[in-house]
Amino acid sequence: MSELSQLKITHQSGQYEILVGKGLLSEVADHLIAIEVNGPIGIISNNKINNLYGDPLRRSLQSAGYVTRTILIPDGEEYKTLASAEQVISALIAQGMERSGTIITLGGGVTTDLGGFVASVLYRGVGLVHIPTTLLAMVDAAVGGKTGVNHSAGKNLVGSFYQPDLVLMDVEVLSSLDQRDRVSGFAEMLKMGLIRDRDYLDFLITNMDVLLGSKANEKIIQAIVRSCELKAEVVIADEKESDLRRILNFGHTLGHAIETTLGYGKIRHGEAVILGMYGAGWLSNQVGQFSAEEWKKLSELLVHIPIQVAFDELDPIAVEQTTRLDKKVDKTQLNFVLLKSLGEAHMQTGIPKLMIKLAIESITKAWREIG
């Protein structure tokens, strides 16, 4: 079998492994046998990813005697909805999916989130294996047990906590990503360094050009593994997001609001998170403890990450209003993740509406100044 890195994630009801390496797609059946998967397997993917990787996955499974069925969903955040989840559930039931079965998600964040949600509710819970095919899904959606679909009022407002039985990350699939998708994944890794590990942050900054490249090398494996380790530490301590886990939302409060107001498809999730981290960093300096020196370092880093955003369509008032629908609103107060320093985050409530609007304005001003 291929050389791989293994992480063991412990949660309230058990544990699972995250396997990271090269060539894992052709070995999926061996890993499923190892965790005693027996029932029929439903593969949830989209046309593009299925055309690239579906056949080798099915060959591996069928050679070991697994019965498979494949459900294809449209690609795009706008399709991550309750209606899509219901269609997938109906297709799985029609094709003979059983309570003893397992769902494999093969794709990016949309597939991972939606497929995980389906697994959590179908027959009150079936087996779940994630095979993320984007860098973003590897370091975000596939780790931690959050599932969800979007609502017209905001992103991921409907969902559940449901842990997978196994996560397989074959870094060779990353060669098919375009630049914007690699940037999205880098943004989530950068977030983990900013909130949790200054040394990892320095590693990401030093190796940014390599990590944004298309080659499956040891640097990208090292970065993925460390990002997953850091996220696992937080999730293990707070699986249901009652306290510490909320720091994983750094950059996401504004990022999700930007995604919602611009419209899904106009901006990648990671691009929105980069903008959200800029706004949160600005707020950290303006109303928190984040020093001017560290804010300067962070702001200069963020504006030099290549993103493609229609800033002329970014409405500060609309974004601020959308933040009020965020899941992190508690007793009408928005819980905002700010930085104390590079590598350390904390929660702060009671950020005035005016300051949120000014944070959005700081974002548009910064990117207009560079270009």
The secondary structure of residue 75, as a DSSP letter, is S
pLDDT (tens digit, 9 = 90+) per residue, 190-217? 999 999 999 999 999 999 999 998 787 8
State residue 240's pLDDT score.
67
Return the CATH architecture of domain 4-176: 3-Layer(aba) Sandwich (3.40)
Structure tokens at 133: 């095919």
State residue 171's pLDDT score.
95
- What's the CA gap between 228 and 23, in Å, rounded? 19
Domain residue extents for the chain: 4-176, 179-213+217-370
For the chain, how far is it from start to end, CA to CA, in angstroms?
48
What pTM value is reported for the model? 0.90
pLDDT (tens digit, 9 = 90+) per residue, 285-326? 999 999 999 999 999 999 999 998 888 888 889 898 888 776
Which positions ≥6 away from 188 have C-beta within 8 Å? 136, 139, 140, 227, 270, 273
pLDDT (tens digit, 9 = 90+) per residue, 234-272? 888 877 666 777 899 999 999 989 988 988 778 899 999
What average pLDDT does the chain have?
A: 91
Q: How would residue 332 be classed by pLDDT, with cut points 50, 70 and 90?
A: low
φ, ψ dihedrals at 287, nearest 5°: -120, 0
Q: Do domains 4-176 and 179-213+217-370 have the same CATH topology?
A: no
pLDDT at 328 over 60: no
CATH assignment, 179-213+217-370: 1.20.1090.10
> DSSP of 210-247, one letter per residue?
HHTSS---HHHHHHHHHHHHHHHHHHHH-TTSSSGGGG
Paired residues of 10 in beta bridges: 15
pLDDT (tens digit, 9 = 90+) per residue, 175-189? 989 999 999 999 999
Instruction: Say if CB 81 and CB 149 are below 8 A apart.
Output: yes
pLDDT (tens digit, 9 = 90+) per residue, 26-77? 899 999 999 999 889 999 999 999 999 999 999 999 999 999 999 999 988 8
State residue 61's pLDDT score.
96
Q: How would residue 12 be classed by pLDDT, with cut points 50, 70 and 90?
A: confident
Best CA proximity match to 148, nearest among 53, 269, 272: 269
φ, ψ dihedrals at 170, nearest 5°: -95, 105
CA distances from 336 to 249, 276, 366, 370 (A): 8, 11, 21, 27
Best CA proximity match to 296, nearest among 356, 359, 250, 342: 342
